[in-house]
A and B are shown apart, each in its own frame.
Chain A
Amino acid sequence: MTTYLYEQDLVTQKYRILVAMRHDSLVRKIAQELNIPVQELRRYLIEHLDMIQLENLPARAEMADDHADQGDAVARALGREKYSLYLRILSGATMDAIFSEVDARVHTGTPVDDAIAYGRTQIREALKI
């Protein structure tokens, strides 16, 4: 474990970044999409992303809306690249595993909405919220 000579508690400062206008609306949107409490999502983001990634969240989300998962409707609905490559909330391997499960369900005849809902519970599990 790395310990630094002088380490400051950054939680307050990270929280200040997240409550700015655009960051706040983005966090609320993601929380609504994944059906998790806003404060829990904020805690997860503060623990897992560094300060510049938090600052850049709205810009990345904007690019994800424009460019992520262009080819695959299911992946787009689930937010495969959005959460892994763009926002970097989840690792690529975790997201791929979730997506392949959802994709398998869609192929075996489960309605797309149900499969996506299942995928979202899996994302919630992965986020441990």
Chain B
Amino acid sequence: MNILQRIKNTVRSRSIHVAYVDVGSCNGCDIEVLACLAPRYDIEQYGIYVHNNPREADVLLVIGAYTPGWEEKLAMVWEKIPAPKAAITIGNCPISGCLFDRKGSFVDPPVKKHIPIAAEVPGCPPRPTEILQAIMSVRDSVFANWEEEHP
């Protein structure tokens, strides 16, 4: 890895775009992601820009327990994100279905079955700081050796 590639990797990992997609949660995790935007947590000071556009995103936040409405669409959204990319699940729902995964419900967790997941943040709902920490810990690995692999 030459010095230029290393600088490129580092710089790109300090400026990432985030898209979030709700695949059937109770909205609780949704607003905690939104709370990350608030001046108190200020996600943008870390160079993370929340813009809900998958085509520009580097990191996809997946919230919720995977409902039938998303059957083909979540995979499509994942394909639309340009590489390098990573997906983080927020909350208990994408991991286990939380309390929605019972007999008679329509959900189909875990989300891991449907798209590759890089990190999981448990909690019902997790605090904004935990969400922030997860994004920050993933961003280095996303661009870790991207430049050498794709010169």
Contact = CB atoms under 8 A, between A and B. Distances in A.
Direct touch of chains A and B (CB < 8 A): yes
B68 A13 contact: yes
Contacts of A4: none
Contacts, number: 10
A119 B146 CA distance: 72
Contacts of B76: 6
Interface in A1-20: 6, 8, 12-13, 16
A41 to B, nearest CB: 24
Interface residues of B, number: 7
A13 B69 CA distance: 9
A16 B68 CA distance: 12
B149 interface: no
A13 B68 CA distance: 9
Contacts of B72: 6, 8
Contacts of A16: 106
A6 B73 CA distance: 8
B126 to A, nearest CB: 29
Nearest to A16: B106
Contacts of B106: 16
A12 B73 CA distance: 17
A12 B71 CA distance: 14
Nearest to A12: B68
A118 to B, nearest CB: 43
Interface string B104-117: 00100000000000
A6 B68 CA distance: 15
Contacts of A12: 68
A13 B106 CA distance: 10
B16 to A, nearest CB: 27
B104 to A, nearest CB: 11
B87 to A, nearest CB: 20
B73 to A, nearest CB: 7
Nearest to B68: A13
A11 B76 CA distance: 22
Contacts of B71: 8
A8 B71 CA distance: 9
B146 to A, nearest CB: 30
9 contacts: A6-B72, A6-B76, A8-B69, A8-B71, A8-B72, A12-B68, A13-B68, A13-B69, A16-B106
Interface of B: 68-69, 71-73, 76, 106
The 5 closest A-B CB pairs, nearest first, are A6-B73, A6-B76, A6-B72, A13-B68, A13-B69
Given A8-B69, A8-B71, A12-B68, 7 more contacts: A6-B72, A6-B73, A6-B76, A8-B72, A13-B68, A13-B69, A16-B106
